Amino acid sequence: MTSYLCAIGTATPPHRIAQPQIASFMAEALQFDEANTRKLRALYRVTGIGHRHSVLPDYGRANGDYTFFPNTPGLEPFPSVGQRMGVYRQQALPLSVAAAQDCLRQVPEVALSTITHLVTVSCTGMYAPGLDIELVQALGLSPNIRRTCVNFMGCYAAFNALKLAEAFCQADAQARVLIVCTELCTIHFQKNPEDDHLVSNALFGDGSAAALVQAAPAQQGPSLALTAFHCALEPDGHADMAWHINDFGFEMTLSSYVPRMIQKGIRKLTEDLLQKLPVKLRDIHSFAIHPGGRKILETIEQELGMSTDDNRFAYRVLRDYGNMSSATVLFVLRELLGSLTAADAGAPVLSFAFGPGLTLEAMLLQVQYA
């Protein structure tokens, strides 16, 4: 029995900040001299990011007007984990509700009372009673809904949520699964001048995406049939992408070797996904790739013989939002869904996401059109 991704909703915080403004904030926070500031601005220019969204207005302001970070040289005392989790508890719910409502508006035939499962995904905040329970109450979902939390898996976690949703639908043809991925990456800015941290600070933004999965396609417009999944690990990249809780927030390690690790494994990942399917790579012309960074997208294009236009949805999301961890690939899939017409029915779609481990996830979908 096939399961279908029927609708995707998205939401971002109100503070939309241009990449050069964020670079100015970072240079001042890190107390960089003129030479290092020029290097930092160059790094921000080559990311392919135009704007990012944040629940914090500070990244677009000057010292003296901050609302979260201290208005002091060096931002001392630097905000603690507790302060950052306070922002998460306050901001994650309204953003999640907005994404879920955007998703459900697209499938008016789906009554709230018929949603049987809720899967919440996040690696940027945790508390209990948590986001899952608050979403049930805020959306008016059944108190008997089956709740699952996918926590701290990073950028590929939406794939795990989709696998869960598929399993629920396989077990029960009446299952309707609402997935909500919410990430507030920008509350975890680390004041560290090492290259890995500078890269992380240059890429990540805040956002939420919600998806509805069920055992039947949507009654109108396009849906995506969940056809196959495949996961692989590149242990040599174990230390190149990591996410740890420290005294001043969650600390991301993202080394320049990540694209090289993905280059090493992406072709085999694709071959392993497709080997038992009646689909060849040459048959695929639609892609939804997690834009972990511009270099990652370029590396995959080179390895799989893709064009920049093949990757246009990923570049568009990277430009407008940056990397929002688990929510990002759903933003890309939403862009793709919005481009589909009845002429695309039956077309295969290849999707990838990557995260700590180094984990490489692949998914094949097929366009359905009602």
Check if the beta carbon of residue 46 is closer than 8 Å to that of residue 295: no
Report how far apart, in Å, the C-alpha atoms of 50 and of each of 23, 59, 158, 185, 322 are: 12, 14, 24, 17, 8
Task: Specify the pLDDT at position 16.
Answer: 98
Does 346 fall in a domain?
yes
pLDDT for the residue numbered 257: 60
Helix (H, G, I), strand (E, B) or coil at 322: coil
The Cα 333–Cα 351 span in angstroms is: 8
Q: What is the pLDDT of residue 256?
A: 65
CA 353/CA 325 separation, integer angstroms: 10
Residue 265 lies in a domain: yes
Domain with 286, as residue range(s), is 222-369
Q: In the structure encoding, which two tokens stand for residue 264, read together?
A: 């090493």
In a domain, 132, yes or no: no
Output the CA–CA distances (angstroms, integers) from residue 282 to 27, 119, 278, 356, in the order listed.
45, 34, 12, 29
The per-residue pLDDT for 195 is: 86
Question: Does the residue 302 lie in any domain?
Answer: yes
Q: Which residue type is seen at 331? A: F
- Supply the CATH number for residue 350's domain: 3.40.47.10
Q: Residue 139: inside a domain, yes or no?
A: no
Question: 343 in a domain, yes or no?
Answer: yes
Q: Write down the pLDDT at residue 320.
A: 98
In a domain, 171, yes or no: no
Give the pLDDT score at 237. Answer: 67
Catalytic residue list:
155
CA separation (Å) from 133 to 87, 90, 164, 226, 357?
Answer: 18, 14, 18, 27, 29
Q: Which residues contact 86 (CB under 8 A, 6 or more apart)?
A: none
Please give the tally of structural domains in the chain.
1
Per-residue model confidence (pLDDT) at position 264: 86
Whether 11 is in a domain gets the answer no
Segment-wise mean pLDDT, segments of 10 residues, the chain, 370 residues: 96 98 96 96 96 98 96 94 96 98 97 97 95 98 98 95 98 97 96 88 96 96 97 78 78 72 90 95 96 93 96 98 97 97 97 92 97
